Structure 1
C-alpha cells in the first residue's frame, strides 16, 4: 500500500452502491485487523429538500438529519458483515471528491461503490470516481454492486497488468500484497500490442516471435524481485498480443480483484485517468484496484 495506515476509507452517500463498498471494505478490515472510516461529504442542499425557500437553520437541520441517516445505515452495514471492526465517522462540509482526496493522504485504501450499468453494460463514471482514480494518494478500490448470475468467484486469482513502467511497479507491489493477504494466486498479465510495438510489428520490421520473447523477458525481470519477497504467492505469467484493457477485461469474470496502475498526472481529472483504468472501472465485473503512480511513465496505459 502507498501509506502505512491501517484504516480503510469508504465514501458513503446513502446509495446501494456505497453500501456495497462499505460491506466489501468491512470484510477486508475484519481479515486484516484494520479499521473503517466512513466519510460522508455534503456541500449543498440535496434536490430532495422539501421546501422551496428554506432558511439556513432549516437547511442545516435537514442536511444533519439526512447525514445522520446515511451514517447510521453505513455503520449498520459494517456491523452486519464484520462485527467488532472499529468504525470511525467523518462528516465533511465540502465536495465529496475533495473530501476523499484529503482523506486518502492518511488511508491504506479508499473504497468507492460504482453506480449501476447503463444499457450497454458500462458503469457510468461520476466525477468522484474519476477524480479519486486520478489524484488519490493511496490505492482506490472500485466495487460494483453484484448480480448473482455474473458474480466472479471468491476463490479466483488476483490479476495485475504489468507494463514495465514505474507505475506498473507500484501496481505490482499492491497486487502481490493483495494476493498474499487473500491467500490467492496471482496472474501477471503483460500485453504488448500497444504503441510502438504494434507499429513495428505491422510494418514488418520485426518478427512477432521476437517481440513476444522480448516482452516475456521484460515480464520475468519485473516479477523476479517481487516473487522473492512474496514466496507464498503462486504466480502465473501471461504475455498476450492484446491491448491492456482488453486483456485484463478477459479476466474480469474469473478474478476476485483486478489491479492496474494509473499515472494520474495532469491538471484535469478527466484527462488524467488513463484509458486502461477507465475501461476496467467501467466494465469489469469484479472489484478494480487502481494504484496511482507518482512518477511519469514511459508508455501509454
Structure 2
C-alpha cells in the first residue's frame, strides 16, 4: 500500500518503491508456504479449492476496489474542482448509496433463482457502464449527470452485494466457515484500500501529465513544481505553492490545475471501468454455473456445500 501511495512522488523506479514491491511478492510467497505446512494454519488453503467461493471473493474484491476508489476521488474532485464543501460533496455522493439499496433485494432474489454467479456478473457489468459515464466528467458537468452515473453504479453494486455474501457463508463446509468469513471480510478491506491507493496513483499521474506544460511555463520554482505534483490530494498545499505568484499568473496556473485534475479524474474513471470489466471476466471464469439440480433450491443447505 505504501509503495502504491508513494510511487507517483518517489518515482516507480526508485530503490525504495522497487524494494517494497519485491518484499510484497517475497512475503506473500513465504505466507503461502507457511500456511501449507503448519498444522493449524491461520487460513486453511483448502478453502480456495471451492470455485464458487473464489468467484464470490473476486467479485467482492472488485466491488470494493471500484466503490472505495471512485468515492475517494469523486469527493476530492467535488471539493477541489467544483468548490463544494465536504458535507455538500458527501450529499452529492448519495445517489450511489440509493442505487445500492434499491437493488440489494433484487440481487438476493436472482441469487435464489439462478445462483450467485448471474447477478454478480451482471451487476459488475452495470457498474462498469456507470463508470464509463463518469469518464466524460468535466468542470462543467451537471450534478444531474453525476447523479445518474452514480445511480447506475449503485444499481450494479447492489446486485452484487447479497449473492457474494450468501455464497461465502453458504457454499463452504462447516469447518471452514470461520475462515471463509474472515477471508471475505479481509477482501473487502483489501479491495477498498487497493482501490484508493491504485486509483489515486493513476489520477495523480494523469493530472500531472495534463498540467505539466502549463505549470512548468508559469514561473514556478523547481521546488514549487515538485510541491504541485504531490498536491493532488491536498489542495491547500497547491494554493500555498502559487500564493507568491502575481495574481493573473496564479489564476492561470490554478485554472490549469483544476482543468487537469478534472481531466485526470475523468480518465481515471474510464480506467476504473476497464479494471472493473477485467474483474468481471475473472468472476465469470472462476465462478461455475449453477447446476440445474440446484436451481429449485431456495437457499444453500448443508447438502449443497461442496466438499473440497
Instruction: Name whichever structure is richer in helix by fraction.
Output: 2
Higher RCO, 1 or 2 (CA under 8 Å, sep at least 6)? Answer: 2
For normalisation by structure 2, the TM-score amounts to 0.23
For normalisation by structure 1, the TM-score amounts to 0.24
